[in-house]
Amino acid sequence: MGFLYSQFFGTPAYPKGNFSGKTIVVTGSNVGLGKEAARHYARLGAGKLILAVRSVDKGRTAKEDIVRTTGHKNTQVWKLDMGDYSSIQSFAKRAEAELDRIDILIANAGVVRAEYHEVNGHEEGIAINVIATTLLMANMMPKMRDTASQFNTRPTFTITGSGAYEHTTFPQRSAPDGQILTTLSDRETCEKYWSQQYPVSKLIQLLIVRAIADDHPASEFPVVVNIVNPGLCWSQLAREATGWGFWFFRLIVARSTEVGSRTLVHAGASGMETHGKYLSDCMVEEPSPLVTDAAGKKGQERIAAEVIKAIEAIQPGVSKKFQTT
């Protein structure tokens, strides 16, 4: 579906369903898409709703608003700073200790910057959107697998992606083997291709989801891992974007965060047919040739290996958490 057609005519359906008894985690849920997705889950009766946020104070404000509008009785605010790898590990340990189950995790926290910033030795978008998100996914897999076996269900780990992934040629994939992440964080290279930096981070998220599904197919893996494009929305994610042109374009074209959040709720509630898939407008969509052609598949293999190596450097043995035996 074309971008403009999708924005104007592809309005996602208002979420329905019953999430009673389910434990749902939404990261980056103090504002924007994450907050509105959390509000939908609360409205639909989630048994337990965890707002995983960097600022606990802002999370509490979001909780108050969600509870006021939905009457939800079990919304909790947990600390999770995706820019701090130890925070991710602590969050996972807390979830293991305090939660009986995790049925849905919406990995919504992400960044887009107007200029270069470095976090943990990488450009911030790569550090948070790619490495931290993969580290979180790996650390949450044991609890989500346990949920599957104990409650005879199939949990879902959903990443908030973006159709922006199509707006890059991924020039950094020409780097030597083992050097793509390094090249993506090299300041000179970043500034040369800055307009592609965020799209590349979203492309890599998609490649990681596909790589995980290739290594752990739905027939053998009890957790659904998918990625969703919410469309262009009025969100604080783009708060650093400058220029009247972009502001005016967004004014005319963008969805509200509530409408965009419907796609997150749908993806989180989707079944094994969406494992490894890219969803847009509440439908599975075939990715562009940049992902599916021979060069794309080779790029997927290379970048997935680098990202796994990166999370192993942070937490040795963490990639084994994907294994089912």
| Cβ count within 10 A of residue 138 | 23
Name which of 87, 110, 79 is nearest 205 in CA terms: 110
287: Cβ–Cβ under 8 A, 6 or more apart, which residues? 165, 206, 210, 278
Q: Is 165 exposed, middle or buried (0-12, 13-18, 19+ CB in 10 A)?
A: buried
Q: Copy the structure tokens of residue 292.
A: 């599916």
CB 78, CB 48: distance < 8 Å? no
Q: Where are the beta strands (DSSP E) in the chain?
A: 23-27, 48-53, 75-79, 104-107, 118-119, 122-123, 156-160, 224-229, 278-280, 283-284
Task: Give the residue numbers annotated as catalytic, written as ranges.
Answer: 198, 202
**Cα dist from 90 to 23, 54, 82, 97, whole Å:** 19, 13, 11, 11
Q: Copy the structure tokens of residue 242.
A: 């400058």
